[in-house]
Structure 1
Amino acid sequence: MEQNTPLMPDFRNFGVIFRALILVHLGMLLYVVAAIRDWSEWSGRLTDAAFWVEPILMGAMACLAVFAPQLRSWPFNRSVAMVYAIVLLWTVLVFRGFSSLLFIDLQPHLGQMLVLVLMGTTFMLWHYQLWLKTLSPRLAEARLVALQARIRPHFFFNSLNAVLSLIRSQPKLAEHLLQNLSELFRVAMGTQSSLSTLQREVELARGYLEIEKVRLGERLHVEWHIEKMPAKASIPPLILQPLLENAVYHGIEPSIETGTIHINIFQSRNEVHIDIRNPIIDTAVQRIGNGMAQDNVRERLLLYFDAEANLSIQRGNDYYQIHIVLPYRELKNEQTVAPIFS
């Protein structure tokens, strides 16, 4: 990922909010430590500082969350100016409100507080840009791992052999499978600095499983439960395919029996849930994996959705299930991809 221009934080994102709270409270703690002359003043100074900081911080973060969509759609310099304006205006309102409630003239302290607020806001925005730059090489590494692990060589050559065997007997099916295979590789080798739609990812996953179905025959059975799927929900590209490839590789391919892969995708409130379940075969023939695909998916969920998305694993006596939760954000135009972190 190349970050040519700075990006404005999404102040509705839990990860952004959490880091902002940590940074501000850490700054408040350091300020109190630097200001005290006697450690006996510690608790009183900290309480006084929190009395002023908390209403300013919570109110400012709430205002920034309300204006977050506009801030992220504007040019960066304009958004930064608006962030400063919102924070400073809220600080002035808090001071005036306290002055009225406490019947105390707080005007002499307002200038000092505004300076501290400006410094805190600047540090918060700088920290976010630093965080993005830190993640940039991690995204590049994740893309490399994805290219290495997403489509295994054995799958590619076996798929070509399966298609070749159908050219004479079922030319239409062979053509359809070649289109699926070419589309899979086109997406895999393309850019991943954008978001796709859930419907598009399901179509790609279906194409992949159709190829595997020809290769594995009756050993592979797939059950889709996508009646409640939000089709236009945004999702990082090729999230489903590598996990389904793992399900086939570990749960279906080594066995001579029929195995079923269950895919359940649904929306619950403002979250999208994705469940992929495959059978567990006899440990004597079970393949040992290195978790590369799962780590890659976790990495990209973090990069796109921060702390609002996660991947968890549940293992039963006869099944292995991956559960993904990500925030519901709709792409208005199904044919349009959204830039990263938008």
Structure 2
Amino acid sequence: MPVTADKSPSTSPESDNLFLPDFCGIRMVFLVVIIAELAAIVIALAPLEVSLTERWTRLGLISLFIQWCALTSCAVLCLLRRRLSRLPVWKASLYSYLLILLIIVLVSEGAYWLVHYPGGLGGLWHSQFLARNLLIGLIITGPLLRYFYVQQQWRRQVRAESESRLQALQSRIRPHFLFNSMNTIVSLIRQKPEQAEQAVENLADLFRASISDARQRVTLTEELELCERYLQIEQLRLGERLKVHWQVGDLPDDAQVPALLLQPLIENAIYHGIEPRTEGGTIEVEGVADGQQLRMTIRNPLPETPSSRPFRPGNQLALQNTRDRLAAGFDGPTQLTLDEDDRHYKVCLNFPYEPWHENSDR
């Protein structure tokens, strides 16, 4: 596995401490537009004495006004995100709140003088119009900022719990694997010193990965190379009983994944599917790219005796950690599914394609 130099820390919205979401992203802007339109519909339909025709007219004007406020707020918060992220939470909250209210006042002032005519804007006086819009902004913006803060705290807690479980998984190399590997290396030192040297290097790479930061990310190519090194060690011990079929040529080389995402699953496949079988078997590793989603499948034969099958209690640690890491490591939808038929056990991973870039965490 090639040694790579440390990269600079990420400056993405996920890496700063600001509780606000990324208002520069298309998905968040689209969500803001939807929320703003729903608010416009509620405000337009609120008066009961207004006719249906007038409601539609009011809806058009109110929608235009609220969308201007919402999109301008998104643009300002996007531009000031880096500065806001350097402030304490209470200051960032206060400044964000005041900025949004200031935008509402400015847009209200512009709308009043642009559209004002006798009877226009519901016949409200200037001060009444500004006061009403400011009050609506106070009612909507406050709970919304509070929701963003609570959501960020919840995500941080989930990520911390996931990383602690991941660190426990990474620091745990099964003792039987270590002892078997050392015995294999000792037996090869005199007869096949080159293979023994290669086995030591592979084992060192596995230990290096197991004690690395749980938040470290690697390219999918590096993760697959680490899996191959692990399989080379097991191949020395299991010999012809272990066969591996790779079908990953369609996967993008620059996709980034959490470190040790696949190796524990392959280790499970050997431990529960190959070792209990007298004749051994074949582990199949397949990967395909489906648009912006990547799908990987690890399939192994079932043990000969039902008592050794992977679903028995206590053997789900690697699967649960992988599931948690998928959820915490990607912004898009992820999934880990298990399937079993009469002959094979299968683990399927689905996660977004996130290309490697210079600011990715290492």
Q: TM-score, normalised by structure 2?
A: 0.69
Whether the 8 Å contact between 1:314 and 1:321 is mirrored in structure 2 is: yes
Whether the 8 Å contact between 1:84 and 1:121 is mirrored in structure 2 is: no
Q: Paired residue for 2:152, among 129, 133, 153?
A: 129
Distance 1:83 1:328 in 2: 35
Cα distance per residue 1:67-104 (max 9 Å; x no partner): 97x8887762589878986897599769959x96x953
Q: Paired residue for 2:274, among 229, 252, 261?
A: 252
Q: Aligned residue for 1:172?
A: 194
SS at match of 1:338: coil
Whichever residue aligns with residue 130 of structure 1, its letter is: Q
Q: Aligned residue for 1:104?
A: 121
Whether the 8 Å contact between 2:68 and 2:107 is mirrored in structure 1 is: no
- Describe the shift of the 1:61–1:266 C-alpha distance in structure 2 as closer, same or farther (beyond 3 A): farther
Whether the 8 Å contact between 1:8 and 1:76 is mirrored in structure 2 is: no
Whether the 8 Å contact between 2:167 and 2:214 is mirrored in structure 1 is: no
Farther off after superposition, 110-119 or 249-258: 110-119
Q: What RMSD over aligned residues (CA atoms) do the two structures have, in Å?
A: 4.5
Distance 2:81 2:227 in 1: 31
Whether the 8 Å contact between 2:276 and 2:304 is mirrored in structure 1 is: no
SS at match of 1:331: coil
Whether the 8 Å contact between 2:97 and 2:142 is mirrored in structure 1 is: no
Whether the 8 Å contact between 2:206 and 2:230 is mirrored in structure 1 is: yes
**Is 1:9 the equivalent of 2:21?**
yes
Q: Aligned residue for 1:303?
A: 328
Q: Paired residue for 2:239, among 214, 217, 224?
A: 217
**In the TM superposition, what is the alpha-carbon distance from 1:60 to its structure 2 partner?**
4.8
Q: Aligned residue for 1:76?
A: 85
Higher-Rg structure is 2
SS at match of 2:181: helix
Whichever residue aligns with residue 9 of structure 1, its letter is: P
Q: Percent identity?
A: 30
**Is 1:240 the equivalent of 2:262?**
yes
Correspondence 1:1-342 to 2 at 5 A: 5-6=17-18, 9-10=21-22, 60=70, 76-77=85-86, 96=111, 104-105=121-122, 107-108=129-130, 109-147=132-170, 149=172, 151-284=173-306, 286-287=308-309, 288=312, 289-305=314-330, 308-333=333-358, 337-338=360-361
Distance 2:64 2:346 in 1: 42
SS at match of 1:167: helix
Whether the 8 Å contact between 2:170 and 2:260 is mirrored in structure 1 is: no
Cα distance per residue 1:304-327 (max 9 Å; x no partner): 225621211122221111111111
Distance 2:288 2:98 in 1: 39
Whether the 8 Å contact between 1:263 and 1:276 is mirrored in structure 2 is: yes
Whether the 8 Å contact between 1:195 and 1:337 is mirrored in structure 2 is: yes
Unmatched runs of 5 consecutive residues or more in structure 2 = 1-14, 49-54
Cα distance per residue 1:214-244 (max 9 Å; x no partner): 1111111111111111111111110101000
Distance 2:335 2:29 in 1: 17
Distance 1:324 1:58 in 2: 42
Unmatched runs of 5 consecutive residues or more in structure 1 = 41-46
Whether the 8 Å contact between 1:313 and 1:321 is mirrored in structure 2 is: yes
- Describe the shift of the 1:58–1:132 C-alpha distance in structure 2 as closer, same or farther (beyond 3 A): farther
**In the TM superposition, what is the alpha-carbon distance from 1:130 to its structure 2 partner?**
1.3
Q: Aligned residue for 2:11?
A: none
Farther off after superposition, 140-149 or 305-314: 140-149
Q: Aligned residue for 1:43?
A: none
Whether the 8 Å contact between 2:332 and 2:352 is mirrored in structure 1 is: no
SS at match of 2:190: coil
SS at match of 1:247: helix
**In the TM superposition, what is the alpha-carbon distance from 1:59 to its structure 2 partner?**
9.6
Distance 1:318 1:245 in 2: 19
